């Protein structure tokens, strides 16, 4: 697991004039503070790590290297970088998309604000949680729903008996299979 410190930065900092000043600007620090970091007299602060990684266009190595290593590492994705987070949580996924829950679905243990990582190319297995688009034949509008796949049925709400049989008429399409969930524990995550 990478430890982002002065040695890590020195290893990557180009040996050219002005590179330390550019790093200081990117971190929002004085050149003196960057010099202290490079000498080992000052630690890189947790909130500075994402800026360091961005400056070097690097991703943290989250692989443990030994028993003495910590088992967590700070990771702060940019708001637009949910695909990277999806790749970390679901490395087997072929084509990742992220959807946000707008309401609670207690029967699926999903809460408003949870983020669902989908694989848009995966074929659903029996009892997989999927997102399906269902077209209303009367109005022509379509809505997306989180469902359970019970071939050839999509269960929308077992408590009220709402299920749809997947037919070849094209009014129901499975968008993707949920392969990871990011829980919103405080219920105020913006979607």
DSSP annotation string for 56-114: TT--------STTS-S-------TT-HHHHHHHH-TT-SSEEEEE-SS-BGGGTB-TT-
**Inter-residue contact 101 to 112 (CB < 8 Å):** yes
128's tokens: 């997989």
Distance CA(188)–CA(150), nearest Å, equals 32
Structural domains of the chain, ranges and CATH numbers in brackets: 1-76 (1.10.260), 82-182 (2.10.109.10)
**Inter-residue contact 157 to 136 (CB < 8 Å):** no
Other C-beta atoms closer than 10 Å to the C-beta of 131 total 19
Taking only the tens place, the pLDDT of each residue in 4-24 is 888 888 988 888 898 999 999
Residue 152 is classified by DSSP as T
Taking only the tens place, the pLDDT of each residue in 133-176 is 888 777 878 888 888 888 888 888 777 677 877 776 677 888 88
Orientation angle between helical segments 19-27 and 31-39, nearest 10 degrees: 110
**Inter-residue contact 76 to 173 (CB < 8 Å):** no
Taking only the tens place, the pLDDT of each residue in 175-186 is 889 888 888 766
Distance CA(154)–CA(148), nearest Å, equals 6
Residue 34 pLDDT level (bands cut at 50, 70, 90) = very high
Please give the model's pTM, rounded to 2 decimal places: 0.52
140's tokens: 């022509």
Distance CA(154)–CA(165), nearest Å, equals 6
Other C-beta atoms closer than 10 Å to the C-beta of 52 total 21
Q: What confidence score (pLDDT) does residue 49 get?
A: 84
pLDDT top residue among 96 and 87: 96
- 3-state secondary structure at position 27: helix
Partnered with residue 130 across adjacent β-strands are: 147, 177
């Amino acid at each position: 697991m990478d430890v982002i410190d002065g040695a890590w930065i020195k290893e990557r900092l180009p040996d050219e004039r002005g590179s330390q000043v550019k790093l200081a600007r990117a971190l929002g620090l004085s050149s003196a503070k960057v010099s202290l970091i490079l000498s080992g007299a000052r630690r890189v602060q947790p909130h500075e790590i994402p800026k360091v990684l961005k400056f070097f266009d690097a991703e943290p190595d989250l692989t443990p290297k030994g028993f003495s290593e910590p088992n967590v590492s700070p990771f702060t994705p940019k708001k637009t970088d949910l695909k990277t987070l999806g790749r970390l949580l679901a490395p087997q996924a072929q084509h990742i998309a992220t959807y946000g829950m707008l309401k609670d679905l207690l029967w699926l243990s999903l809460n408003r604000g949870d983020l669902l990582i989908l694989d848009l190319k995966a074929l659903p297995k029996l009892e997989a949680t999927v997102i399906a688009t269902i077209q209303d034949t009367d109005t022509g509008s379509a809505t997306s729903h989180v469902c359970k796949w019970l071939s050839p049925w999509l269960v929308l709400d077992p408590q009220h008996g709402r299920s749809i049989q997947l037919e070849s008429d094209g009014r129901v399409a499975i968008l993707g299979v949920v392969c990871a969930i990011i829980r919103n524990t405080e219920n105020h995550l913006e979607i």
